[in-house]
Amino acid sequence: MIKPLSGLSLFFGLSIAAVSVVHATNGYSPTGFGTTNKGMAGAGVALPQDSLAGATNPAGMLMVGNRVDLGVALFNPNRSYTANPTGGPADPIPAGTFDSKNDLFLIPSFGWNRMIDENRSIGVSVGGNGGMNTEYGNAVWQNFPPFNATAPTGVDFAQLFVGFSYAQRVHENHVLGIMPVIAVQRFKAEGLEPFANPFLSIDPASVTNNGYDYSWGYGLRVGWLGQLTDRLAAGASVQSRLYMSEFDDYRGLFAEQGDFDVPPTITAGLSFAATPSVTLVADWQRIFYNSVKAVGNPNNVAIGTPGTRLGDDHGLGFGWRDIDIFKLGVQWQQSPKLAFRAGVSHADQLFDNGEALFNILAPATVRTHASLGMSYKLDTDSVISVAYTRAFEEKIKGQNVNFTGPQTGSVQMDQHELEVNWTWLLD
């Protein structure tokens, strides 16, 4: 007899973790913001170049001048999961490899900056901060009685942020910036009926098939940019936790009764003018995932442990830990009109291999990115920029303590992203 609760962790890995995929490949944080930044794999907290720079370091907006940036990214995450046969009478998850149907997404971005005077600026940065549409054509949970799972199985999650920046020079070589952030996100889940029961959830009616629910929130980013020498600059920024309202229609799914906040981050880095035309950049970023219970709560506990039902304050999470990300980039200003960029980034592993199938089958597996980019000045007031990012395939294998069989499985993912940005330089 297949236990109806034995696939709980796999369910999370294939649905809630979907937040991590679209436009957000370090957990559910994007590699960078803006096309020039992405052309160097997200490095550039000390090298602001467009009006999306506020999302990385609001102090940098003082350096980008009067401008408007309009961008769009074509994002291609290739996700699939594999469930291995157990050799028993029935597999908890039907054996095989299954691909998500949806693998192309358009992600817009927008930035505007205006110099008040040579020492002050205001700006707006708008972009995607994460999300995913996942749709498996099969009923993943069809072998989990007593409730029959429907097909398709999947989730749809999208998040948008709007930041309002103010930057001011406080010393000849030092700038401070502040950016209040407003965020909105939406979420729906389908095909998760076996988990909508009182033994597994605090609110069985708020687990699946409730259509879209919306969540609003806010936070703050502050930054510093300093010119240390003629050739060396440094930058740092801190983003607070983005406090999001609960997904009430899915309060029986996420820990803390539907809470799904965005974790705080710290970023610091250097920019070095190696030659008059070549600039090197290096960034370090830390994301505090463990502070958000929906993803930070452990999951390597047996189902039935008091307080760990879906929706509980200590309900099962990803077991995600805080991670460090290191980014390196280079820019070559080949001519006054043409610039080339390249970069690479590498992140810590987000969770332990032995942290249960909930994590092992989560699609947040990608750790290494490589990018190429360029900008070309079309005329005196317009620039076109392009960036391509390749996230290399990662596969994670494991099994869950709650599985009968036992059943093992894996998830694998790789990504491509091509972003184009048009800049209008204002008077």
pLDDT tens track of the chain, all 427 residues? 334 343 434 333 333 333 333 444 787 788 999 999 999 999 999 999 999 999 999 999 999 999 999 999 999 888 888 888 877 777 777 888 888 888 888 889 999 999 999 999 999 999 887 667 778 888 877 777 777 778 888 888 888 899 999 999 999 999 999 999 999 999 998 888 888 888 888 999 999 999 999 999 999 999 999 999 999 999 999 999 999 999 999 999 889 999 999 999 999 999 999 999 999 999 999 999 999 998 888 776 666 667 888 899 988 777 888 999 999 999 999 999 999 999 999 998 887 655 545 554 456 778 899 999 999 999 999 999 999 999 998 887 777 655 556 777 777 888 999 999 999 999 8
Range of the domain at 130: 8-425
Of 35, 42, 38, 19, nearest to 267 by C-alpha is 42
CATH at 30: 2.40.160.60
Please work out, in degrees rounded to the nearest 5, the angle formed at the alpha carbon of residue 223 by the alpha carbons of 221 and 227: 165
Residue 2 within any structural domain of the chain: no
The model carries a pTM of 0.88
CB 20 within 8 A of CB 132: yes
Domains in the chain, number: 1
SS3 173: coil
Residue 3 within any structural domain of the chain: no
* Gap between the Cα atoms of 423 and 377, Å rounded: 9
Residue 1 within any structural domain of the chain: no
* Gap between the Cα atoms of 158 and 160, Å rounded: 7
Please work out, in degrees rounded to the nearest 5, the angle formed at the alpha carbon of residue 68 by the alpha carbons of 416 and 235: 70
